[in-house]
Structure 1
């Protein structure tokens, strides 16, 4: 985590936070990531962001794999190296293969089941601000209204995160896995 070059604000350590918020940067909370080391400048907001993220992970009827496909689609569409980097391994843990990651990186949805294609297309459109009636209906047809609403919130959350990371030039925590990750 020593790669802080280019960050627009200092990356904080756990001890830089008020004592009441230091628990947010404990390893099991994932707060030691550069994303949170940057957000730590406003610890109350960081706490709310983390709680919202947890709630969104559990919203609707998306599988872990579908949720990761949606996040990866947003990351690719926004060219968010940080988000992509963080979610490549999480996606792999959810069953996304290296070949599928490469296809997502190139906006190629061939080979994915209809439901997964609809989820990725819809998430990307939410992030781009280009949701159309047919895209919405395609996502709702393969899920349900609750899941589309949850997917909308999830994609919006990762759009917000991508913009935050970009605006503050938050560096990737480790060497970037690349848009065409290796096995």
Structure 2
């Protein structure tokens, strides 16, 4: 089983990606074993991370629930930090892995949609009708794309037992979820 590929060993066709996010994060360093796949994923990643119609907070809610549903501690931990940076409180983050009744209305709606995608592999007519006035068509499509993209990452992480990035582990060790500052 391969380990995450250190950027110094990346092939020339993806060497330009080594200095950015892909070279810093173990999940992408693992995918670097397949340069064409890493390059192809770059465009979708840019969209779902930085250009999504969901907006920063909704995106994190969807990603965190997907990480929870996949049992991907790597993604969960990564996104605790990103969710905090995007304004989510620790209590709100923690609620995302709990029952729907413990969430605010909008989080509940997004989490219900993520759960449907995992359970039914589609959004129900009722969920689509509830999402439409909140997210619109582009937001709904971005929600589906986000869940799909992060599922691919989660499958990769779990299949290859990719270790957590040291900086993320250190940050969470110094301020675990639920810390009084959260």
Aligned pair partner of 2:32 in 28, 37, 40: 40
- Secondary structure in 1 matching 2:146: helix
Cα separation, partners in 2 of 1:149 and 1:36, compared to 1, 3 Å: same
Deviation above 6 Å: which 4+ runs of structure 1? none
CA distance in 2, matches of 1:118, 1:111: 9
Please report how far the alpha carbon of residue 160 of structure 1 lies from its aligned counterpart in structure 2 after TM superposition.
1.6
Match of 2:77 in 1: 85
CA distance in 2, matches of 1:109, 1:170: 33
Match of 1:4 in 2: none
How does the TM-score come out when normalised to structure 1? 0.83
- Residue 130 of structure 2 corresponds to residue 138 of structure 1: yes
Match of 2:14 in 1: 21
Structure 1 residues without counterparts, runs of 5 or longer: 1-7
* Higher share in helix: 2
Deviation per CA, 1:30-70, whole angstroms, max 9, x where unpaired?
4221101111101121122122111123132x220111111
Match of 2:108 in 1: 117
Structural mapping, 1:1-183, within 5 Å: 8-26=1-19, 28-57=20-49, 58-60=51-53, 62-108=54-100, 110-112=102-104, 114-128=105-119, 129=121, 131-174=123-166, 175=169, 177=172, 181-183=177-179
Structure 2 residues without counterparts, runs of 5 or longer: none
Moved more, 71-80 or 29-38: 29-38
Q: How many pairs were matched up?
A: 172
Deviation per CA, 1:149-183, whole angstroms, max 9, x where unpaired?
111111111112111211111111133849x7232
- Kindly indicate whether structure 1 or structure 2 has the higher relative contact order, using CA contacts under 8 Å at least 6 residues apart: 1
Cα separation, partners in 2 of 1:130 and 1:19, compared to 1, 3 Å: closer
CA distance in 1, matches of 2:63, 2:29: 21
